[in-house]
Amino acid sequence: MAEFVEFRCEEWVGEVDVMKKLNLFEPHEIKSLVTKRRELEYKIERRKKSKEDYLKYIQYEVDLLKIITARRKKSGIKTGEKSIESQIVNRIIKLFKQVIFRHPSDIKLWMSLFKFCKDAKKHSVASKMLTKMLQIHSNNEELWIYASDWELEHSNSFENARNFLTKGLRHHPSSELLYMELFKLELMHMTNQIKIKEIKLKNDDYQPNEITENIINGKIVEIVFNTAVKAIENIDFKVKLLKLCKGVSNIEDMILQSLIQNHPFEELTWYTIAKKEYLGKKCNWKVLIGKDDDGEEIEESEDKETESLKNRIERVLEIYKESLKKLNTDKMWEYYLSHLHKICNANYLNSELRDFTYKIFIEGMKDGLEVNKVSEENFMKWIEIMKKFNRECDELEEVYLNGVEKHPKSLTLWFEYLRFTLCKNDEEKGEKVFKKAIKYLPEEVSLWELMIEYLKLSESHKTEEIFMEGIGMGGQVSTYLKPLYLKWVVEKKGIEEGRKIFQAAEFQHPPCLKLYKTMCDLESDEKNFSSSHIRKCHDLACLYFGRDNPSVWLDSIKWELVKGDVTKVHEIHRRALNSLKPEMTDKFLTEYNFIKINL
């Protein structure tokens, strides 16, 4: 082992000599460097080699490179780079190769090597190692994409990038990711070739050939598309590919025609075409209903921009109306109404278009309501638009009523309807809405909270009645309301009444921890607080919850330390350790020590 180490040490003798001559390091630093390298060499030469030892050696050499770079910059020394930096870079790459050979499954090691190659501009080394990595990790489709991206970005090689993707597809013949990357790559190559052709035509330097023309005309992209959709037969994949070729008109046309011809009864086809028409793309969509686009001229208005957008919106409406004749499904209605909302909610509309889009949005929603196709989400969008356009309260209320009628289990709709009613300061109507809501959603705490907060703020005589009704229901509503009721009673009637409520609640099961904590806080907030009452609250909390919950013991200790009797802390500490489950004691002791330090 020693002779191998010494042999490798001799390899960097010349490198160290150059460091000395250039005065990049002091003599004691050189000595330390040699000692450290020899130590690291011995570690990686051991019979049982550790990945961590290799990584430490690599990190040491990387840090050394940074120091040398910084000192060269400071001193202005530029000579000897081949004798020093190049040697260190090669050593790091060699170490990476050695550790990767021993741990080929560790993808982080491969990625670290490629990052280093990028920083050191060793792109050819990375290209070779990419191939080796994929021989081992051919099952990882993302690594094929990584390799392709590397070749394109760092080696500027379109051919190598394409080769990695096509090889990846041999291993993953149904990979959406790989086909999308290949499609994107060929599309980029096509647009680049078009730009090159334009430049050469300007300079009168273009020599056409069949291969280049096929690329420019989109023939290669078309082949990739056809191969991809043959391997992956679903409409969602086609739409993903369509999104990639935004602005490349002939390829968009090709994919749109594929959707129209092969998926006429898919909701996504109609939705995609409607979106494209809205953006100004003519899709020849009437083939879907057995017609050709009539191609009639549209009369121009003085305000061409407004007229153009209005015409596009009208075409979108026509598309959706035809789609609903063929596909009167929930999904088709969802696409239609969501698209109307997006159009109506656009910020770039002038006053004329705002009125127009509002009108068609409301008509669409009403049409959907007639056939029971307005989802909970779309009811909320309906309400949002009506608020935005400052519609009358009566109109809004009608939408709320329809919403909760069609979706009686919708917490969102009931909550918003209740809030809308209470905002009008109509307590009687608000109570009616609340009663209807809890009929369908009795366990929804937020409804009770909203109603009670309103009653408290308006100082209604019905506040206590609603509190008691909720507490009497049991379950999570009761658990949530008990502490709120206790606090309200103390605020309105004083601590003595609160104690009566608390005493009555002691015998109700299951016990409520928040109730005990609230009572402790209320007692402590009294100007002339009663220590005996506070201790009783803490003791009861510890009795009911002290086996699983260290916080009840800690709260008791904190109170004694701050406002009570410090001599009682030891006894509480002892009881806590005897009562808590064994797995809870460490947490208790840690928090207890923090309390002692902070106080």
Q: DSSP string spanning 87-149?
A: HHHHHHHHHHHHHHHH-TT-HHHHHHHHHHHHHHT-HHHHHHHHHHHHHH-TT-HHHHHHHHH
pLDDT greater than 70 at residue 585: yes
Question: 188-214, pLDDT tens digit by residue?
Answer: 999 999 888 888 777 777 777 888 888
3-state secondary structure of 1: coil
Whole-number percent of the chain with pLDDT over 90: 54
* Residues in Cβ contact with 395 at an 8 Å cutoff, skipping those fewer than 6 apart: 386
* Residues in Cβ contact with 373 at an 8 Å cutoff, skipping those fewer than 6 apart: 330, 333, 337
* Residues in Cβ contact with 116 at an 8 Å cutoff, skipping those fewer than 6 apart: 62, 92, 93, 96, 122
Phi, psi angle pair for 139, to nearest 5°: -80, -5
Confidence at 285, pLDDT banded by 50, 70, 90? confident
Considering only CA atoms, which of 51, 49, 165 is closest in space to residue 108?
51
Two structure tokens written together for 504? 């009555």
Question: 227-243, pLDDT tens digit by residue?
Answer: 999 999 999 999 999 99
Evaluate whether 326 touches 346 at the Cβ level (below 8 Å).
no
Average pLDDT (534-557) is: 89
Average pLDDT (530-535) is: 86
Evaluate whether 106 touches 51 at the Cβ level (below 8 Å).
yes
3-state secondary structure of 407: coil
Q: Could you tell me the CA-to-CA distances from 417 to 432, 470, 486 in Å, in that order?
A: 11, 20, 28
Two structure tokens written together for 590? 């840690």
Q: Could you tell me the CA-to-CA distances from 234 to 224, 315, 327, 345, 352 in Å, in that order?
A: 16, 27, 18, 31, 41
Question: 305-320, pLDDT tens digit by residue?
Answer: 555 889 999 999 999 9
Other Cβ atoms less than 10 A from the Cβ of 249: the count is 11
Considering only CA atoms, which of 84, 156, 82, 164 is closest in space to residue 124?
156
Average pLDDT (99-106) is: 95
Other Cβ atoms less than 10 A from the Cβ of 6: the count is 11
Beta strands in 8-62 (DSSP E): none
Residue 299: the pLDDT is 39
Q: What's the pTM value of the predicted model, to 2 decimals?
A: 0.79
Confidence at 335, pLDDT banded by 50, 70, 90? very high
The Cα 180–Cα 121 span in angstroms is 29
Respond yes or no on whether the N-terminal peptide bond of residue 510 is cis (omega within 30° of 0). yes
Residue 289: the pLDDT is 60
Question: 351-391, pLDDT tens digit by residue?
Answer: 889 999 999 999 999 999 999 999 999 999 999 999 988 87
3-state secondary structure of 330: helix
